[in-house]
């Protein structure tokens, strides 16, 4: 089935877009990576090149492998270049208005048989699919960061997604060496639905003074075999992002179990957002 998708289009050359492009190109799939500005496209191509260089240093790939992969990636600022793709993945910013606008443009431009996917981590696939006239050929492909290293892809079926669409995209994900899981459309899908409330609960444990941040994180690492503790992970994700996700769950499920921890709210209000601001649960300013 995977050979039905020979060329993948990607809208967005940022972290997720260029990561998906690299994952495809290293497995022999042609890629068209589109962004609004040429500077963004060039930055995306440079990121792929740098990432492949690191794999050469680790002796995972050869110089020839790098050259072959880069030759398969075409950077562009024109949506017209996506017309020859069998699958186009929207990997733009996590903003419904931006995604809706892009999807409407793609739907008008692409041949009727082309599959469209969104790499959203939180927006309803059913609602995004409804922006197009091909809801049966629309699916969520939620890749995880960093894309070249992370094995998981959540395949999210909207209420209208056809079996043929799901099967073609699943086959592609497997061809990329990923381990896809199939998920029905619901806020947070599977991974973030479990992960972010767990992080929120860690903040409640911290707020109640049950243990220090270090001991909470050590407990989850050593007791549950997690590679990183929930509070350190929150600092990596961004406390503002964790709070926003919890607020979406509370609003969409209407269940008080999703209420954000008051300490999380306080820290966001104080601008202590984690690594990106130098301070979150932990202090990164000296590191």
Q: Is the peptide bond before 146 cis (omega within 30 degrees of 0)?
A: yes
Catalytic residue set: 121, 142, 154, 192
Backbone angles phi, psi at 186, to 5 degrees: -165, 155
Q: Which residues pair with 138 in a beta bridge?
A: 116
- Contact assessment for residue 168 and residue 5, using Cβ atoms and an 8 Å cutoff: yes
Q: Whole-angstrom Cα distance, residue 229 to residue 218? A: 6
* 272: region left, alpha or beta (phi > 0 left; psi from -120 to 50 alpha): beta
- Contact assessment for residue 119 and residue 20, using Cβ atoms and an 8 Å cutoff: yes
CA dihedral (51, 57, 60, 63) positive or negative: positive
């Amino acid at each position: 089935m995977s050979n039905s998708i020979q060329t993948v289009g990607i809208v967005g050359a940022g972290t997720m877009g260029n990561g998906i492009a690299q994952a495809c190109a290293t497995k022999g799939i042609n890629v068209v990576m589109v962004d609004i500005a040429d500077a963004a496209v060039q930055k995306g191509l440079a990121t792929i090149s740098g990432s492949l260089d690191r794999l050469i240093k680790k002796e995972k790939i050869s110089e020839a492998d790098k050259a072959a992969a880069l030759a398969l990636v075409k950077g562009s600022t024109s949506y017209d270049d996506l017309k020859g793709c069998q699958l186009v993945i929207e990997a733009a910013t996590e903003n419904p208005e931006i995604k809706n606008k892009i999807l409407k443009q793609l739907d008008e431009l692409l041949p009727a048989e082309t599959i469209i996917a969104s790499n959203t981590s939180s927006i309803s696939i059913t609602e995004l699919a409804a922006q197009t006239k091909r809801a049966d050929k629309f699916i969520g492909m939620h890749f995880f960061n960093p894309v070249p290293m992370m094995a998981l892809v959540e395949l999210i079926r909207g209420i209208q997604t056809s079996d043929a669409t799901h099967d073609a995209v699943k086959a592609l994900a497997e061809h990329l060496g990923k381990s896809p899981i199939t998920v029905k459309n619901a806020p947070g899908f599977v991974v973030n639905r479990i992960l972010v409330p767990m992080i929120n609960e860690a903040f409640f444990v911290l707020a109640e003074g049950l243990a220090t941040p270090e001991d909470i994180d050590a407990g989850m690492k050593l007791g549950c075999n997690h590679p990183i503790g929930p509070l350190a992970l929150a600092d990596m994700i961004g406390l503002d992002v964790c709070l926003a996700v919890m607020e979406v769950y509370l609003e969409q499920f209407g269940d008080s179990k999703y209420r954000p921890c008051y300490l999380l709210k306080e820290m966001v209000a104080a601008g202590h957002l984690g690594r990106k601001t130098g301070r979150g649960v932990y202090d990164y300013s000296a590191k």
